[in-house]
Structure 1
Amino acid sequence: MEQEATYRGTVYPWQCDHVGHMNIMWYVGKFDEANWNLFARLGLTPSYLRSSGRGMAAVQQNITYERELLAGDIVEIRSRLLELREKSIRFRHDMTNAETGEVAAFCEITGVHMDRGLRKSTPFADTIRDTAMRHLIEPAEV
């Protein structure tokens, strides 16, 4: 699957730190917004999560910072699903400066599908699995 845009936004001055670039807390926030757009494409929509009593929890997140983003920069995040397991997924976000095309940061996250009532991991529904399999970079037997 070609990476799909899952976030577009702007770096605001109040998101910058004492050295003038976007503070790391905002990178995390923008990656989080991209998570929910990616999840919705997989069928993990807000209405599905509410009606089914399911949720998603991040269990690992690794961010690599490549270039600064400054106030006024337009940010785009493209996301792709890397791995699908019975109860978890692994995906990657690439954050770029939309004007220059330069990668500012990338993030790899492992998320777990959970039953919110039991507070335990639970297998993905077949419909979610089927949709997610179509989004895998290289679909594999899981």
Structure 2
Amino acid sequence: MIEVYRGSPNAWECDEMGHMNVRFYISKLIEGLGVFCFKTGMPHAFRPNAPSTVELKDLHIRFVKEAHAGAPIYMRAGVVEIKESSALLYMQLNHLDGAPCAVFRLWIDHIDIHTGKPFLWSPKTIAAFKTIPADMPEKLAPRSLPFDVPPNPAPTIDAALEIGALEIGSGLIMPDHCDVFGNMKTECFIGRISDSTPHFIDAEGTGLSRSPKAHASGPRIGTAALEYRFAFHNTPTAGDIFQLFAGSAGFSDKTFSLYYWLMDPYRNTAFATVQATLIQFDLDERKAITPPAGAFEAIEKVIPRGMWL
């Protein structure tokens, strides 16, 4: 594996949970992907005049150990599988002592900028890929969200409405949320979810909270992510409107799983479908806690089941 990123979280990249917000894990992943491309024969992949680039199609994230403001972190990357115009990569974000912070498994497509279609890797890039096999510790494998099952086709908004999914977010894709190609940055997908989650986590009757309440007595409790999986179907561009729907995917002892559909109301299809596994988190003890009795059942009254990845 090769090193593709070295830095640290800024204070403004950390949220009310006291650790780096999920969107900046992906921001650093994309930085690392750019360096990976540079080191494997694609030095112009993320420049405005690039003849080709790479796009994420399927992404699994497992969060392992929190990253805090100013703490040094670095990322290594390797290749798991190579196909004609796509590849499966493994990227691991570590703390300075080598302890894993987060791990990423991602399918990427090699995209022709002019046609927007996948096309063959160059022989030079394939040769480079073969020199950097991924070292994937079994203990860091996906747990609650498997990565070996392909996503379903993109749903429609009609499907969301039929299920009774709750709309938790909406807005406009702004130009500063987009990359050099005019497409919404990958971190903004998860950023929109993070921004919208309080609209059902904090709903009356669930007994849960996304973030600690001001002047609340007792322990400070928030919600933290353990795993995410993203399937990217269509790419939003500046000026697009989006709607975000949520539904329950079930729960266990301490964890609960949710689906999110980031939808394109103009074309009646999905930009992305997402599944997440979350926990309630004691912000002072920095550990998972058991939610109040009946909390998960209350969530399913707010965001019913029926959605999918």
Same fold by TM-score greater than 0.5:
yes
Q: 2:76 aligns with which of 72, 75, 78?
A: 78
Find the aligned partners of 1:77 and 1:47 in 2 and give their Cα distance: 19
Aligned partner of 1:30: which letter?
K
Q: Point out the structure with the larger helix share.
A: 1
For 1:132, the equivalent position in structure 2 comes to: 129
Q: 2:86 aligns with which of 78, 85, 88?
A: 88
Give the structure, 1 or 2, with the largest relative contact order (CA under 8 Å, sep 6 or more).
1
Cα distance, 1:69–1:86 mapped onto 2, change above 3 Å: same
Aligned partner of 2:23: which letter?
M
Find the aligned partners of 2:87 and 2:94 in 1 and give their Cα distance: 23
Secondary structure at the aligned position of 2:121 is classed as: coil
For 1:104, the equivalent position in structure 2 comes to: 101
How many corresponding residue pairs?
Answer: 135
1:8-23 matches, cutoff 5 A: 8-23=6-21
Asked if 1:44 is matched to 2:31, the reply is no
Identity between Structure 1 and Structure 2 (%) = 20
Aligned partner of 1:65: which letter?
F
Question: With structure 1 as the length reference, what TM-score do the two structures score?
Answer: 0.86
For 1:114, the equivalent position in structure 2 comes to: 111
Aligned partner of 1:136: which letter?
P
Find the aligned partners of 1:42 and 1:59 in 2 and give their Cα distance: 19
Q: CA RMSD in A?
A: 2.1
Find the aligned partners of 1:14 and 1:48 in 2 and give their Cα distance: 25
For 2:188, the equivalent position in structure 1 comes to: none
Q: Which runs of 5+ in 1 are unaligned?
A: none
1:47-62 matches, cutoff 5 A: 53-62=51-60
Question: With structure 2 as the length reference, what TM-score do the two structures score?
Answer: 0.41
Cα distance, 1:73–1:113 mapped onto 2, change above 3 Å: same
Find the aligned partners of 1:132 and 1:14 in 2 and give their Cα distance: 35
Q: Which runs of 5+ in 2 are unaligned?
A: 136-309
Secondary structure at the aligned position of 1:107 is classed as: strand
Secondary structure at the aligned position of 2:131 is classed as: helix
Q: CA deviation at 1:51?
A: 7.0
Cα distance, 1:134–1:50 mapped onto 2, change above 3 Å: farther
Cα distance, 1:86–1:44 mapped onto 2, change above 3 Å: same
Asked if 1:26 is matched to 2:24, the reply is yes
Find the aligned partners of 1:11 and 1:37 in 2 and give their Cα distance: 18
Q: CA deviation at 1:39?
A: 1.2
Aligned partner of 2:24: which letter?
W
Cα distance, 1:110–1:18 mapped onto 2, change above 3 Å: same
Find the aligned partners of 1:25 and 1:47 in 2 and give their Cα distance: 22
Find the aligned partners of 2:18 and 2:40 in 1 and give their Cα distance: 36
Q: CA deviation at 1:102?
A: 1.4
Secondary structure at the aligned position of 1:130 is classed as: helix
Q: Deviations over 1:27-68 (max 9, x none)?
A: 000111111111111101117977772111110111000111
